[in-house]
């Protein structure tokens, strides 16, 4: 990711009128009880709403984001809620995810297919990947993002996790947004 991208997110999270969303992505809320508690890695964690939610449910959480300001919001929310979240400021395209360290990896609204192999390596055998982002159908809708470069071809997502156990998959419209969601379990 470029310095321009880092600057964009720093500006967003540092804007005087910015108020971070403190509620986790509903899909994570719906699926969390189906996931065994353990070590979690939250990619593109932003202001930390999902990371803090997982910590509240007993996960040991590492939140990674390119924005120091976003992660400051994450630490503030964690402190207010009485949980711990380890934050790491890093560009996900160059950060070392490690090998076999996590029981859960989450990624919400940051689509970068190049990360999928690193996610696979980072998960322990039997670990889960929970992902949601815009599908290419979003570009056809009258509102919301339009840049197809940041949207998923649903069959491509399934192909990326061929050989994994697909615990949940959805390609549809949720809250007036065209999204793709998956819970994939790494083979044991």
**What mean pLDDT is predicted for residues 26-37?**
97
Could you tell me the pLDDT band of residue 6, with boundaries at 50, 70 and 90? confident
186 alpha-carbon distance from chain centroid: 17
Q: Which CATH class is domain 3-185?
A: alpha beta
Give the three-class secondary structure for 63.
Answer: strand
Residue 5 has pLDDT above 90, yes or no: no
In this prediction, residue 113 carries a pLDDT of 92
**φ/ψ (deg, to 5) at 95:** -80, 140
The single-letter DSSP state of residue 135 is B
Across the chain, mean pLDDT equals 93
Q: What is the pLDDT of residues 89-124, one digit of tens each?
A: 999 999 999 999 999 999 999 999 999 999 999 999
Domain ranges of the chain: 3-185
Please compute Rg for the chain using Cα positions: 16
Q: Is residue 125 within 8 Å of residue 186, measured between CB atoms?
A: yes
Helix or strand or coil: residue 173?
A: strand
DSSP state letter for 81: H
Task: Report the alpha-carbon distance of residue 154 to residue 161 in Å, rounded.
Answer: 11
Query: Can you tell me the distance from the alpha carbon of 54 to that of 67, in angstroms, rounded to the nearest whole number?
Result: 20
Contact 186, 142 (CB under 8 A): no
Residues forming a β-bridge with 135: 152
CA-based angle 153:159:162, to the nearest 5?
150
For the stretch 46-62, pLDDT in tens is: 999 999 999 999 999 99
Return the closest-CA partner of residue 85 out of 99, 106, 100. Answer: 106
What pLDDT is attached to residue 125? 98
Reported confidence tier of residue 145, pLDDT bands at 50, 70, 90: confident
Task: Give the pLDDT score at 76.
Answer: 96
Quote the DSSP letter at residue 85. Answer: E
pLDDT-based confidence at residue 20 (cuts at 50, 70, 90): confident
């Amino acid at each position: 990711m470029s310095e321009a991208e880092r600057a964009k997110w720093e500006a967003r999270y540092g804007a005087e009128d910015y108020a971070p969303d403190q509620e986790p992505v509903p899909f994570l809320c719906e699926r969390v009880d189906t996931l065994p508690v353990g070590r979690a890695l939250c990619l593109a964690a932003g202001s930390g709403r999902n990371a803090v939610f997982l910590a509240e449910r007993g996960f040991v959480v590492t939140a990674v984001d390119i924005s120091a300001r976003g992660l400051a919001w994450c630490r503030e929310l964690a402190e207010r809620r009485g949980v711990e979240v380890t934050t790491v400021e890093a560009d996900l395209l160059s950060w070392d995810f490690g090998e076999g360290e996590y029981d859960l990896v989450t990624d919400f609204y940051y689509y970068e297919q190049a990360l999928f192999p690193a996610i696979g390596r980072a998960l322990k055998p039997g670990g889960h990947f929970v992902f949601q982002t815009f599908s290419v159908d979003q570009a056809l809708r009258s509102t919301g993002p339009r840049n197809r470069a940041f949207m998923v071809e649903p069959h491509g997502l399934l192909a990326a996790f061929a050989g994994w156990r697909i615990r949940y998959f959805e390609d549809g419209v949720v809250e007036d947004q065209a999204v793709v969601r998956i819970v994939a379990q790494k083979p044991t």
